[in-house]
Structure 1
């Protein structure tokens, strides 16, 4: 770790992660797995010891909580599940998208499934449960959940039981499961899924995955879950997938027809022909002909229908397109100080294809010069635009004569390796 490059790589990773929220940081296991992909010859314990010695001495790690709370050990019969939301992020089209991940865990088998969604409203929650039931292959008999607004109108009190929303009660009745809401501020009553949310975040979303869309992410998460079920139960020493299969015998059968999840309401367009959907004004053609309209909301899209049944407008719900920019300016500044760490950075896989190839060279001096060039452009252009206009923005002395420097790239050869209709982001995903 000290005599070769490995210690420097780990420190660079820890510095990158320290600037992020604690939920998004890589743990020791993830760091070790990423080192193995780089042909690291050492052991997991070597990495842990190095981090403990070098990182904690700098007092940059959060101190462990010294308070210990003793809980009563609960027994969990088969076919009982717990659900909870966790918020994380993924990279789509070179931008950050917040992902609300609905996780369902089975304490009996320690199995779990996760489905990515764009919000935590009622439509997303019920659609997510449908997907989770399908992935599990059965419906749990009891479902324990938090007092989330999508399912609960009023939490349990001393004198009154939990009041569920009418839509959630209909959904539970259709699938036949019994809903159990936790007491207010008693997250330990669904502690298994609380731990599973963290497990999914650290093992499936750290670092943030590069995806095509939510359907692609859903497939990735399902594959991750199936692979994870091949490990042994921490206590029973049996394979989790076998325990899940046994648990399914105690569950409820899936209905032959899926439950239709949507919300319908009456709305009125303003004088500009706009209807407010999820807080955003959406123009609806010919809406001024009608005094009222039907607004039908699905988890990912909407429909506006006239009182005569005519479809006037449809499209994705506004939150489906919400993104955040990757802070490339600060990242590039860090890279300019430590150009040797660029190809090992957690952000390197998020670069568009041409730019990633442009920076992936042996010469540290030339690598630093190219980062400085990107820094000069990122003030007025986003990274995707720089990639699309790469030949136009590339310095003429570099592009004009690729033989001037032994580390320059013949970009015509590079582009001939891939079909031109493939986006650079997709090619970066394939490369990674």
Structure 2
């Protein structure tokens, strides 16, 4: 009997456990993707561009046998099940608050037809690594130790020939829609083909120096795999098979562990997607109103008068990406120099970033703002000038993204960092 393989955050054919499960019987498999209008409303244009390009790559990998349909999944998936007489729907598990609620509705709508989840976008799925008493970790270091001890499976041996795929043209009563196009540029090729190529290039040319170069935005030393991981164009299991015991490899493994850690935090405390994980920070004083909005607009436009901050914001607006070290610098500036809510910055990042991931983005912001789990102390206030001197010592990054720095066209600083640092600490004292 036929089954459905419903793609979501797993836009690949290799290392896909759900594909093995879908093909386990003797029947054919209908590969499908649902263009949920809620995703279109909440995703920035650049993420939609990556999504649509990755879907085209996936469709090519299946020789055209990917059915794309628009609508609410709780309506479209049961309709596809009925159209092909499917006995089950197979998916990779989704642990985000949105994903778990969506899947609950689909399960209810399917009735007796099971929605079978297997695998996840992570090396270790949320909830698997806990303390001895079964409670979740709130601090990364002990989580990292336990996470490595737990370990993970090897890559699933799947590919384009894993299943006998149903031709969408043979499915009666369901239109196989064209994949939309978005008129916006992104600086990364999308999809599984590009992801696998990019990873091999990083391992061959940059991995050895990654531990030393990863904090330098002026050096081409990072992997740029974040967007591929966000959309599941490659699985981290596939990646770790290429990691050895070297310094660079272990530094990279630690970053993958952070990704799993934040996914677990969001799964355990779903309210933290937009609210302070540490509720003590609910009472901290933040600025709002017209003057605060003006400062926010200057921050978004890269017109604060602090070169490393403005270069980062220009990189974001022009490319849909920002180096991670600069993300921390720009976030600290928004929260502790401008005294604005971290949610304002997190929302702007999600609008602009190709790799915008709810767990990573929201908890990265809360780490900087001091209100997240295992966060940086609030009194750790990045000095944007010294950060620029340390991580962009020759000014190459600033020159690339902010050519007017140092000219008459560049604005004076909109705040005095020394004054605003003391003001941030005063506000922190109010909630201690």
TM-score of the superposed pair, with normalisation by structure 2:
0.22
Structure whose residues are more often strand by fraction: 1
Q: Which structure has the higher relative contact order (CA within 8 Å, separation 6+)?
A: 2
TM-score of the superposed pair, with normalisation by structure 1:
0.22
